[in-house]
Amino acid sequence: MLAREDLRFHVLTNGQHFESADREVMLALDRSRVVWGVPLYSADPTIHDEIVGKAGAFEKLQSGLAFLGRAGAQIELRTVLMQPNAQGLPRLARYLTTSVPFIQTWAIMQLENIGYARQNWSRLFFDSSTGFETVAQAIDIARSRSIDVQLFNFPLCTVPGPYRHLAPSTISDWKRAYMDDCKNCSLRGDCGGFFEWHPREHGYASLGGV
């Protein structure tokens, strides 16, 4: 069977279980066709470990990221924005610039109202429509050190104008919805909207067509 050189792979991993024996396999891959999506929630080990629910996870992840870096892997570092880690985002940005500057992209992601997040929504959801300053500061720090930053799952009206070009439409069409306020928005064609199950009354405080 011929290799499908047109295929690309996006592998989501917690980065916890790479071993030195995996290096040979990694080096044999066409690394230009594989992106590794790895979650890192905070530069504070205690906060990261609490979010993932596993003591020692932060330390293990550092080893995993170092392994991927040495193997020349393309890394998309993923940080879901939540109340427990929002104010620490600038600190995390500084951490990335000094400890893992080899990543390809830092994806800051808004929270999806599903599973554990749905059960703990009032405690976890961070309203970036009224608190974007901490996100902006983190973006500025990372980009000043040439780290690419993307905003995933952010409705464009919740993002200040200078940062909207960093917020592509990332919600799949089958689970995307728009609010009534979106009807006449000039940015709707470029906006990823909301998750279909995003709560209408317990989400962003500041919304509106642009």
Residue 206 belongs to a domain: no
For residue 177, being part of any structural domain is answered with yes
Residue keyed to tokens 């306020």: 181
> 17: domain range?
9-195
* pLDDT tens digits, one per residue of 192-207: 999 888 887 778 888 7
* 207 located within any domain: no
Residue 13 lies in a domain: yes
User: What's the structural domain count of the chain?
Assistant: 1
Detail the DSSP E strand segments found in the chain.
9-12, 34-39, 74-80, 105-109, 148-152, 176-177, 194-195
CATH number at residue 132: 3.80.30.10
pTM equals 0.92
Residue 165 lies in a domain: yes
Distance between CA atoms of 51 and 42, rounded to whole angstroms?
9
Each residue's pLDDT tens digit, 141-195:
999 999 999 999 999 999 999 999 999 999 988 889 888 888 888 998 899 999 8
**Does residue 210 fall inside a structural domain?**
no
Q: How far is CA 188 from CA 13, 85, 110, 137, 193, in A?
A: 32, 29, 18, 26, 8
Q: Are 22 and 67 in contact (CB under 8 A)?
A: yes
In a domain, 37, yes or no: yes
At 1, the pLDDT band (50, 70, 90 cuts) reads very low
Q: Does any domain span residue 88?
A: yes
